[in-house]
């Protein structure tokens, strides 16, 4: 059971694969429409110039920055958004014909156009993976660059952004101890990603509510569907992250054990991206677009 769920984290970024799909977490910006506007500050990541798949690396970078508590997206910015641009260059490596030397220049400018930092990323990549925009490669490049760039974004997150307190409320429909164990596991996963999480619902906070549906497919397997819905302080739905998997029949009827942690760790990045895109209301209420 745990082996099936551990594999989930590696498959999360895949877009469309034939069923069964192990607890795939849908990017709410594409799969589940949000009712909230773009974040009031944060960083707009532009498509990377010089790459065969320019949007893929930009999206991976936005996700990597979000995991480091930087409000980032590749869609619409606003009047306060900072701008992250990049230019990539490749050359054949001397060591092997299918290996490329890669240089990516990342440049950060604030909302007034002033330079706020730069990073020269140099590494080696396989030519076929680079040409295809292989998801694993995009994530690896983005994670390395985000580790260098994230500390320079402190001011981009600061102006007027209210960090909402999150509360993981009830998880309904889970068999066995899933209601309790999933709630605790997601609470911990969000805390580890830097969110302020309260055990009780607070004024002006965001509530994460979970629902679980287990359906018997045949004598050997069940299908599990989990939906995490984020609710704004006024009750409006901000978006939903969904997960699906097939598991041995009856395997979740008692203790979820490590499976709950695996589910939470796989869901947390999608929830973090959802919250970042839905970050609401600067202190003066400005919501201009750019």
pLDDT of residue 277: 67
Average pLDDT for consecutive 10-residue bins of the chain (290 residues)? 34 31 38 34 84 91 85 70 89 80 90 82 92 94 90 56 74 93 92 82 87 92 92 83 90 90 86 70 33
pLDDT of residue 279: 58
Determine contact, residues 156/82, Cβ cutoff 8 Å.
yes
Determine contact, residues 247/224, Cβ cutoff 8 Å.
yes
| Residue 157 to residue 278: CA distance in whole angstroms | 14
Its CATH architecture, for the domain 43-157, is 2-Layer Sandwich (3.30)
Which two structure tokens, joined as six digits, stand for 24? 């795939």
| Residue 69 to residue 104: CA distance in whole angstroms | 23
SS3 209: strand
For the entire predicted model, the pTM comes to: 0.49
Determine contact, residues 176/252, Cβ cutoff 8 Å.
yes
SS3 12: coil
**Top-level class of domain 2-31+161-277:** alpha beta
| Residue 233 to residue 245: CA distance in whole angstroms | 31
pLDDT of residue 5: 38
- 8-state DSSP, 46: P
pLDDT of residue 16: 31
pLDDT of residue 265: 85
Q: Which residues of 221-240 are buried (b: 16+ CB within 10 A; e: fewer)?
A: bbbbebbbbbbbbeeebbbb
| Residue 159 to residue 24: CA distance in whole angstroms | 34
Numbered ranges of CATH 3.30.160 in the chain: 2-31+161-277, 43-157
Place of tokens 């599990």: 224
Determine contact, residues 125/96, Cβ cutoff 8 Å.
no
| Residue 46 to residue 104: CA distance in whole angstroms | 13
pLDDT of residue 184: 94
């Amino acid at each position: 059971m745990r082996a099936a769920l551990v594999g989930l984290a590696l498959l999360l970024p895949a877009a469309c694969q034939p069923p069964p799909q192990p607890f795939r977490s849908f990017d709410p910006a594409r799969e589940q429409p949000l009712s909230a506007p773009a974040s009031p500050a944060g960083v707009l990541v532009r498509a990377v110039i010089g790459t065969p798949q320019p949007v893929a690396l930009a999206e991976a970078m936005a996700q990597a920055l979000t995991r480091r508590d930087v409000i980032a997206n590749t869609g619409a910015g606003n009047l306060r958004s900072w701008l992250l641009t990049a230019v990539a260059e490749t050359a054949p490596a001397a060591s092997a014909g299918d290996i490329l030397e890669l240089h990516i220049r990342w440049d950060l400018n604030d909302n007034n156009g002033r330079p706020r930092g730069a990073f020269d990323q140099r590494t080696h990549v396989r030519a076929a993976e680079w040409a295809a925009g292989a998801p694993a490669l995009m994530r690896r490049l983005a994670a390395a660059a985000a580790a260098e760039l994230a500390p320079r974004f402190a001011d981009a997150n600061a102006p007027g952004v209210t960090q909402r307190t999150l509360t993981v409320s009830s998880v309904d429909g889970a068999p066995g101890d899933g209601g309790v164990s999933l709630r605790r596991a997601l609470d911990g996963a969000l805390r580890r990603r830097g969110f302020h999480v309260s055990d009780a619902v607070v004024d002006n906070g965001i509530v994460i509510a979970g629902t679980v549906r287990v359906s018997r497919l045949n004598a050997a397997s069940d299908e599990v569907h989990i939906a995490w819905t984020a609710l704004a302080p006024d009750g409006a739905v901000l978006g939903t992250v969904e997960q699906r998997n097939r598991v041995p029949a009856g395997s979740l009827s008692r203790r979820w054990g490590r499976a709950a942690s695996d589910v939470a760790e796989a869901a947390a990045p999608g929830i973090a991206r959802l919250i970042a895109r839905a970050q609401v209301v600067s202190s003066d209420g400005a919501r201009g677009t750019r």
